[in-house]
Amino acid sequence: MSDLSVREFDFTEADFRRVRSLIRARTGIELGAHKQSLVYGRLARRIRALRLSTFRDYLELVADDGTDEAGFFVNAITTNVTEFFRENHHFEYLAQTLLPAVWRRAETTGRRVRIWSAGCSTGEEPYSIAMILRENMPAGSSWNIKILATDLDTDVLAHAREGVYSHDRLGRVSQPRLERHFEPVEGGALRARDALRSLITFNQLNLMEPWPMSGRFDVIFCRNVVIYFDDATKTNLVRRYREALLPNGHLFLGHSESLVSSDLGFEGCGKTIYRRTETPATRAAG
């Protein structure tokens, strides 16, 4: 790790501990000791922009949860790495195995289908899901299909709502899909067509706080998110996801993630793909 003592602003161990505490309280994210240089680099830009002199002054400012800067603070720390059709086996499973069962169930429930992309970042994941839905949707115009896409970071949500991506960001999207689902815009970028965008609602949501959604979901994608939480937070979050899923609903986690316990009411049905089950333990707990 580089020597922080030669940096522009003094950044003490006490400052870093306070950053870790604030982020843990507001997002559930556990910042490891190896993140000290990353935190310095991201927050130093904010200190400079605000014309402050020290990390202590900055942390006093963001300690008030109601300030605009408190939001900028969280946005600066959270990491957003994503791409279209990332971990493509998940999308293949969704199209080939899961959606046929979802359509059959929806036929008996008013053709209502709900999918949640939790931690959607700049939108590549929900737009990938939307492409799969459009390409595999049964005939007929009366389907009630919605994708809820949420993230804590307001900056990435603004990007996602625009639905505009450079060609290099779309490198994993096949040419037929580009032609069907995107249209050129000024500057050489491509924008998701209205038919795709109409399926998705983007909202800010802190996973650690109460969730406002009342209906349950057929599928929840929460990939490369729980890796940042401690085991207790992961367990609590997975239990809440289970309650947010319909019976036999599916939860998708990231490639380096797994359920922290075998008694959470899920069974594995693919690589980091889990189906909600009804077990004696979960029935008793419910």
Distance, CA of 162 to chain centre: 17
**Catalytic site residue 104?**
no
- Fold match, 4-77 / 88-285: no
**Would you place residue 64 in the very low, low, confident or very high pLDDT band (cuts 50, 70, 90)?**
confident
**Catalytic site residue 51?**
no
Q: In whole angstroms, give the CA distance from residue 33 to residue 145.
A: 43
Catalytic entry in 24, 42, 46, 56: 42
Identify the pLDDT of residue 84. 95
**Would you place residue 281 in the very low, low, confident or very high pLDDT band (cuts 50, 70, 90)?**
very low
**Would you place residue 132 in the very low, low, confident or very high pLDDT band (cuts 50, 70, 90)?**
very high
- Tell me if residue 133 falls in helix, strand or coil: helix
* pLDDT at 164 exceeding the cut of 80: yes
Q: What is the residue-averaged pLDDT of the chain?
A: 88
Q: What is the mean pLDDT of residues 201-218?
A: 94
* Cβ-proximal residues to 50 (8 Å cutoff; 6+ apart), any chain: 58, 61, 69
For residues 21 and 140, which has the higher predicted lDDT (pLDDT)?
21
Catalytic entry in 151, 153, 218, 223: 151
- Scanning the chain, the segments in alpha helix (DSSP H) are 13-27, 36-49, 55-62, 68-77, 88-93, 99-106, 124-136, 154-162, 175-181, 194-197, 231-244, 280-285
- Domain coordinates of the chain in residue numbers? 4-77, 88-285
The hierarchical CATH code for the domain 88-285 is 3.40.50.150
Model pTM score: 0.81
Identify the pLDDT of residue 167. 92
Q: What is the mean pLDDT of residues 98-112?
A: 92
Identify the pLDDT of residue 109. 83
Architecture in CATH for domain 4-77: Orthogonal Bundle (1.10)
* pLDDT at 192 exceeding the cut of 60: yes
Identify the pLDDT of residue 1. 41
